[in-house]
């Protein structure tokens, strides 16, 4: 649209270098006659003024477009707005993955990697605690935990700095997300991101899986540093395997039968309402993506797991998203 004003009055090329100006009633000019007319007719003055105004308008409009903030936050990937097919009807799909249905999501940013032990330790140090009242954010005493407390400071255990944090409850994931100015993904956001722009595929890259593509089925028997396997089509790592990832939503096995078409969230009217009151949440929360312990069926992008938000487990971690603001 920015080019339209220029197209309306721009002279059309003609034979032998002559030009045709609609504003001058269809007269045809050679360059020599044109130069003479340019300084002698009021009509040409009008054309010149119009050209200057259109140039200014074009530059102003270009500046508007370029000034729209579109910088992707560090460590995140832009997942574009649009529809995708959520759920699965393949032979391995559970009843809660059906029916396949269309969902529209606004654009959002998603963490490139699962949140690491080093990142989570920084959060615990900032808060000076790993328990909030009676609720554990992080299970420091579990021998599986990869964060320890040394001289009152939290730190990743040696060699586990870049591994995904585990032994973190849903509350602990929510509190971390708020601290970094992000939030957990909705279940729909997680699945769209995991699909990497592909439609109807089992995994983040296609329909087949082997141990070169993801950390699963006890191939390594532990978490691995985030980003150890190839990314999906959106540039996201470990959406399949390594650790299960907490989502924002309550788990509802029947929700796909009447899911809202746009930006669905389960268990609250609005995302902001859920975030503002998250410590009061009691119902099970969705987990996605499978883990290093699980078989391929559970790593499918449409597979839906859930657990109580209080649980801290050796296979559960998370990553965050951030809304795109104009
Ligand atoms: Ca994962
Ligand atoms: Ca535990």
The correct answer on CATH 3.90.1580.10 for the domain covering 76-323 is: yes
Share of the chain above pLDDT 70, in %: 79
Cα 306 from Cα 296, distance rounded (Å)? 17
Tokens representing 314 are: 């050796």
Judged by its nearest atom, the ligand closest to the C-alpha of residue 238 is: 1
Please give the distance, rounded to the nearest whole angstrom, from the Cα atom of residue 249 to the centre of ligand 1.
Answer: 17
Judged by its nearest atom, the ligand closest to the C-alpha of residue 143 is: 2
pLDDT of residue 205: 93
Cα 44 from Cα 36, distance rounded (Å)? 10
The answer, yes or no, to whether residue 273 has pLDDT greater than 50, is yes
Which has the higher per-residue pLDDT, 209 or 51? Answer: 209
| 145 pLDDT tier (thresholds 50, 70, 90) | very high
Phi, psi at 287, each rounded to 5° = -125, 145
Enumerate the domain spans of the chain: 4-67, 76-323
pLDDT of residue 62: 39
Please give the distance, rounded to the nearest whole angstrom, from the Cα atom of residue 271 to the centre of ligand 1.
Answer: 23
Please give the distance, rounded to the nearest whole angstrom, from the Cα atom of residue 167 to the centre of ligand 2.
Answer: 5
pLDDT of residue 47: 43
Cα 70 from Cα 65, distance rounded (Å)? 10
pLDDT of residue 70: 67
Q: From start to end of the chain, where are the E strands?
A: 12-13, 19-20, 28-29, 76-79, 82-86, 101-105, 108-111, 131-132, 135-136, 147-150, 153-156, 244-250, 285-288, 305-307, 316-317, 321-323
Which residues line ion ligand 1, judged by CB < 5 Å?
Answer: 238, 242, 289
| 190 pLDDT tier (thresholds 50, 70, 90) | very high
Please give the distance, rounded to the nearest whole angstrom, from the Cα atom of residue 260 to the centre of ligand 1.
Answer: 26
- As a whole number, the mean pLDDT across the chain is 85
Judged by its nearest atom, the ligand closest to the C-alpha of residue 239 is: 1
pLDDT of residue 9: 34
Instruction: Give per-residue pLDDT as tens, 212-221.
Output: 999 999 889 9
* Residue at token pair 């021998």: 143
Q: What is the mean pLDDT of residues 285-313?
A: 97
The answer, yes or no, to whether residue 1 has pLDDT greater than 70, is no
Cα 111 from Cα 246, distance rounded (Å)? 13
pLDDT of residue 69: 52
Judged by its nearest atom, the ligand closest to the C-alpha of residue 172 is: 2
Q: What is the mean pLDDT of residues 306-322?
A: 98
Cα 195 from Cα 205, distance rounded (Å)? 7
Please give the distance, rounded to the nearest whole angstrom, from the Cα atom of residue 185 to the centre of ligand 1.
Answer: 13
The answer, yes or no, to whether residue 12 has pLDDT greater than 90, is no
Please give the distance, rounded to the nearest whole angstrom, from the Cα atom of residue 134 to the centre of ligand 2.
Answer: 15
pLDDT of residue 79: 98
Q: What is the mean pLDDT of residues 245-271?
A: 96
**Dihedral of alpha carbons 272, 73, 304, 162, sign:** negative
pLDDT of residue 185: 98
pLDDT of residue 6: 33
Q: What is the mean pLDDT of residues 78-107?
A: 97
Please give the distance, rounded to the nearest whole angstrom, from the Cα atom of residue 289 to the centre of ligand 1.
Answer: 5
Distances (CA, A) of 207 to 159, 195, 217, 243, 281: 33, 11, 17, 20, 36
Please give the distance, rounded to the nearest whole angstrom, from the Cα atom of residue 39 to the centre of ligand 1.
Answer: 71
The answer, yes or no, to whether residue 312 has pLDDT greater than 60, is yes
Which strand (E) or helix (H) includes residue 321? strand 321-323
Judged by its nearest atom, the ligand closest to the C-alpha of residue 311 is: 2
85: left (phi over 0), alpha (psi -120 to 50) or beta: beta
pLDDT of residue 39: 44
pLDDT of residue 22: 40
Cα 191 from Cα 187, distance rounded (Å)? 6
Cα 88 from Cα 61, distance rounded (Å)? 44
Which residues line ion ligand 2, judged by CB < 5 Å?
Answer: 139, 142, 312
Tokens representing 295 are: 């078989």
Please give the distance, rounded to the nearest whole angstrom, from the Cα atom of residue 304 to the centre of ligand 1.
Answer: 13
Cα 311 from Cα 326, distance rounded (Å)? 37
Please give the distance, rounded to the nearest whole angstrom, from the Cα atom of residue 165 to the centre of ligand 1.
Answer: 11
Distances (CA, A) of 63 to 57, 58, 67, 69, 317: 10, 9, 6, 12, 42
Judged by its nearest atom, the ligand closest to the C-alpha of residue 313 is: 2
Which strand (E) or helix (H) includes residue 194? helix 187-195
pLDDT of residue 54: 39
Tokens representing 243 are: 């650790």
**Dihedral of alpha carbons 95, 103, 290, 146, sign:** negative
pLDDT of residue 32: 53
Which has the higher per-residue pLDDT, 284 or 64? Answer: 284
């Amino acid at each position: 649209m920015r080019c339209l004003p220029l197209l309306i009055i721009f002279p059309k090329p003609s034979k032998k270098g002559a030009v045709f100006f609609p504003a001058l009633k269809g007269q045809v000019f050679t360059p020599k006659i044109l130069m003479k007319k340019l300084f002698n007719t009021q009509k040409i003055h009008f054309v010149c003024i119009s050209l200057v105004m259109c140039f200014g308008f074009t530059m102003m409009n270009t500046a508007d477009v370029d000034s729209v903030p579109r910088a992707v936050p560090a460590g995140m990937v832009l997942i574009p707005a649009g529809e995708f097919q959520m759920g699965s009807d393949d032979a391995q799909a559970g009843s809660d993955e059906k029916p396949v249905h269309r969902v529209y999501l606004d654009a959002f940013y998603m963490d490139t990697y699962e949140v690491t032990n080093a990142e989570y330790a920084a959060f615990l140090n900032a808060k000076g605690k790993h328990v909030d009242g009676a609720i554990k954010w992080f299970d420091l005493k579990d021998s599986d935990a990869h964060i320890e407390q040394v001289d009152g400071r939290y730190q990743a255990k040696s060699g586990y700095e870049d591994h995904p944090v585990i032994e973190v409850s849903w509350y602990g994931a929510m509190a971390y997300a708020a601290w970094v100015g992000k939030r957990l993904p909705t279940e729909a956001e997680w699945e769209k991101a995991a699909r990497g722009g592909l439609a109807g595929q089992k995994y983040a890259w296609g329909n087949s899986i082997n141990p070169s593509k993801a950390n699963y089925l006890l191939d390594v028997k532990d978490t691995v540093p985030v980003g150890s396997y190839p990314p999906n089509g959106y540039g996201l790592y470990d959406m399949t395997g390594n650790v299960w990832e907490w989502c924002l939503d309550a788990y509802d096995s029947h929700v796909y039968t009447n899911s809202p078409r746009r930006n669905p969230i389960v268990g609250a009217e609005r995302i902001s309402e859920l975030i503002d009151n998250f410590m009061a949440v009691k119902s099970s929360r969705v987990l996605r993506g499978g883990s290093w312990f699980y078989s391929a069926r559970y790593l499918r992008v449409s597979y839906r797991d859930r657990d109580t938000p209080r649980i801290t487990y050796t296979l559960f971690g998370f990553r965050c998203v951030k809304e795109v603001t104009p």
